[in-house]
Amino acid sequence: MSMEASELQDLSDDADYAASQQQGSASMMRCDSEKRSSSSEHEGAELIYTKDNVAIHPTQFASERISGRLKLTKQDSVLFLSWIPYKGEIPNAKLSDKDRSLYTITAVPFTEVRSIKRHTPALGWQYIIVVLSSGLAFAPLYFYSGGVREFLAIVKQHVFLARSAEDTNVLLVNDFQSPLQRTLSSLELPSSLPVASGQSTYPSDGGGSSNDNRISILSQYGLRKQKSHDPTRDLSIHLLEKFSLVTKFARETTTQLFSENNGFGSIDKRRNNQPVHSYPEKLSNIAEEKHHESSHSYPETDRLDNEEISNDIDVPADPLEFNNLSLVWGKPRQSPMGREEFTAFLDSEGRVVDSKALRKRVFYGGIEHQLRTEVWPFLLGYHAYDSTYAEREYHRSVKKKEYEDLKLQWKSISAEQAKRFTKYRERKGLIDKDVVRTDRAFEYYEGDDNLNVNIMRDILLTYSFYNFDLGYCQGMSDYLSPIMFVMEDESESFWCFVALMERLGPNFNRDQNGMHTQLFALSKLVELLDTPLHNYFKQNDCLNYFFCFRWILIQFKREFEYEKTMLLWEVLWTHYLSEHFHLYVCVAILKRCRSKIMGDQMDFDTLLKFINELSGHIDLDSTVRDAEALCICAGENGAASIPPGTPPSLPLDDGILYPQDDDIL
């Protein structure tokens, strides 16, 4: 009997091990059980390759790295990969055998491997990431003594490897599909989801399982799966597995970013070490069942996680938040992009050479304030990325003239004409009332007779003529305020605002259609990413998601302080991971509060009030990281949950943009 099989038995009554099997190597579990039943095991397996000193890094701490041996074996012409941590090596008391077994890779057949990503930096350790057909990924395997190339060469002798068109460091295994099919299927459910069979392989009735939430939840899922084939249920199981694995994967990548950095390293560490430092603590909790960390330093919002649920209400577990691990695991936020860095994105004539790279950079760190004037117009689509300095200068001057002309349209309305122009009077009245109620505590707009308040009024009034169908609606001034503060020029502010409204105008439709589609998409995303929470909202008549109305209407402007709002906006406006990243931000915040919401059994009113009062208490960086993680995790399924044309996507057809009702304004 092979080493891995004996380990399996040693730990078979171990809840953690079972859970790790469920999440970690779900797809191979099936083949394990098959093999066990045929009792041939690995006896006839031919050893192809072994490599010592291959390690995984569960945390960024050197002391918690786990070394082991990587092996390739072959049986019945199928190649298997395994990685077994060295026994008895106790690098750190915090890391128990359980932790280590969590990472064990027990003979995965290459028929179930989708791809291998290799990293062979000139400096630092080489590593590979093995991604399974199901979309799951194992933690990166670090080759301390080198040899990734040789490893791949050997693999190549036994299976078909093809370089991915998208990333030359990704080697696709046995990939005979067309590229299109590949993308389409990359995130779909494997046709035979190994849940039902998985259920039979872990001891749901074993010792200690009754006080182990995870097991009971999993069995519950398994049972329900057997009863009815609810596709969303399948998906959430799938995500459950995927997320927990990817969680580890991402933590690795995080670590990686920290160790072999790219210029922002030192600053990153200073700015971001807080959330990162919480990982090892979180990780150590894997073994200590439901141990609620209490006093580690963590952003304020952690309070919201409500680790101490006051009453006995049994809050359904977050399917994505296995083992009480924190969700915080998107890439660490970088420091804002500075001028030098930005200049490097431009060619000699001022074109942005690689707009995607620029958007990525902004997505991960935002922009230094002084630079926003230059970058926001690109993000908003006012300037084209491929425009030159000269073209932009010209564009500005043309637009300035155009703005002055537009402004003249209402400037030239005489008092006599105004008397006969109710719509104009009403709009002007509304705008006059609202500009004096917009960010007046912020110094740029404070004080009596503030010039900027007047400019804001002029811009909004001009906009209501430029887009007479949409007109003016409350909330617009919330968007305009930071734009003016950044652009510091009336015409430029106007056109940036226009560009923003091209996408977000539907938020202000008379019929609120744009808002309703977004709230609907949000409900779909929550259903996908947190089915129990979705069900809770459903049962409590909260499915209209009106409690997120303000978040979406003005993209969290009232939830964060001014500077943070600008940072969030530029992240959202990159459309880097998704045009609808703001919806993932909503999901991220809701997930942080899920146990509070469900534990307190909040009804609609209570929930609305609770969400309102989160304002000023949300940690932006960790929320964005959660959202990033959720967005990646949801993948194609997330995108598919969002109906086409949902703002800020551009409208589907170019019919009437802003449907008119015929009363009042």
Partner 1 sequence: MSYAYLFKYIIIGDTGVGKSCLLLQFTDKRFQPVHDLTIGVEFGARMITIDNKPIKLQIWDTAGQESFRSITRSYYRGAAGALLVYDITRRETFNHLASWLEDARQHANANMTIMLIGNKCDLAHRRAVSTEEGEQFAKEHGLIFMEASAKTAQNVEEAFIKTAATIYKKIQDGVFDVSNESYGIKVGYGGIPGPSGGRDGSTSQGGGCCG
User: Under the rule (CB under 8 A), what is the footprint of partner 1?
Assistant: 426, 430, 433-434, 436-441, 446, 473-475, 477-478, 508-510, 512, 515, 544, 546, 549-550, 553-554, 558, 600-606, 608-609, 612-613, 663-665
**Distance, first Cα to last Cα, the chain:** 80
Q: Tell me the closest approach of the beta carbon of residue 419 to partner 1, in angstroms.
A: 15
Q: Tell me the closest approach of the beta carbon of residue 466 to partner 1, in angstroms.
A: 19
Q: Tell me the closest approach of the beta carbon of residue 595 to partner 1, in angstroms.
A: 15
Q: How far, rounded to the nearest angstrom, does the alpha carbon of residue 619 sit from its chain's CA centroid?
A: 15
Q: Tell me the closest approach of the beta carbon of residue 440 to partner 1, in angstroms.
A: 4
Nearer to partner 1, 318 or 434 (CB): 434
Q: Compute the half-sphere exposure of residue 49: CA atoms within 13 Å on the CB side of its CA.
A: 21
Nearer to partner 1, 217 or 515 (CB): 515
Q: Tell me the closest approach of the beta carbon of residue 475 to partner 1, in angstroms.
A: 6
Strand arrangement, sheet containing 105-109: 105-109, 78-85, 66-75, 46-56, 141-143, 126-132, 113-119, 170-173, 161-163
Nearer to partner 1, 426 or 502 (CB): 426
Nearer to partner 1, 52 or 605 (CB): 605
Backbone CA torsion sign across 224, 228, 230, 235: positive
Nearer to partner 1, 232 or 601 (CB): 601
Nearer to partner 1, 499 or 602 (CB): 602
Nearer to partner 1, 439 or 570 (CB): 439
Helices (H) and strands (E) in the chain, counts: 26, 9
Q: Tell me the closest approach of the beta carbon of residue 72 to partner 1, in angstroms.
A: 58
Residue type, 148: V
- Confirm if 234 and 122 have CB atoms less than 8 A apart: no
Nearer to partner 1, 76 or 661 (CB): 661
Rounded (5°) CA angle 10-12-16: 105
Q: Tell me the closest approach of the beta carbon of residue 446 to partner 1, in angstroms.
A: 8
Nearer to partner 1, 122 or 664 (CB): 664
Q: Tell me the closest approach of the beta carbon of residue 606 to partner 1, in angstroms.
A: 7
Residue type, 607: L
Return the SS3 of 163.
strand
Torsions phi, psi of 479, nearest 5?
-75, -40
Q: How far is the CA of 81 from the CAs of 68, 74, 408, 626, in angstroms?
A: 13, 9, 73, 32
DSSP letter assigned to residue 540: T
Nearer to partner 1, 180 or 441 (CB): 441
Q: Tell me the closest approach of the beta carbon of residue 564 to partner 1, in angstroms.
A: 16
Q: Tell me the closest approach of the beta carbon of residue 549 to partner 1, in angstroms.
A: 5
Q: Compute the half-sphere exposure of residue 98: CA atoms within 13 Å on the CB side of its CA.
A: 18
Helix boundaries (H) for 260-368: 265-284, 339-344, 355-365
Q: Tell me the closest approach of the beta carbon of residue 664 to partner 1, in angstroms.
A: 5
Q: Tell me the closest approach of the beta carbon of residue 649 to partner 1, in angstroms.
A: 21
Dist. CA 204–CA 213, nearest whole Å: 11
Nearer to partner 1, 41 or 426 (CB): 426
- The C-alpha torsion from 513 through 518 and 523 to 526, rounded to 10°, is 180
Looking at the DSSP bridge assignments, the partners of residue 71 are: 50, 82
Rounded (5°) CA angle 110-320-297: 120
Nearer to partner 1, 194 or 514 (CB): 514
Helices 369-380, 476-487: inter-axial angle, 10-degree rounding: 120
Q: DSSP letters of 196-262?
A: HHHHHHS-TTSTTGGG-HHHHHHHHHHHHHHH---HHHHHHHHHHHHHHHHHHHHHHHHHHHHHS--
Helix boundaries (H) for 294-348: 339-344
Nearer to partner 1, 204 or 509 (CB): 509
Q: Tell me the closest approach of the beta carbon of residue 132 to partner 1, in angstroms.
A: 44
Beta-carbon contacts of 517 under 8 Å, excluding residues fewer than 6 positions away, are 506, 643, 645, 646, 647
Greatest CA span in the chain, whole angstroms?
A: 98
Nearer to partner 1, 224 or 558 (CB): 558
- Per the document, the length of the chain is 665
- Confirm if 629 and 329 have CB atoms less than 8 A apart: yes
Q: Tell me the closest approach of the beta carbon of residue 545 to partner 1, in angstroms.
A: 11
Q: Tell me the closest approach of the beta carbon of residue 653 to partner 1, in angstroms.
A: 23
Nearer to partner 1, 385 or 604 (CB): 604
Residue type, 172: L
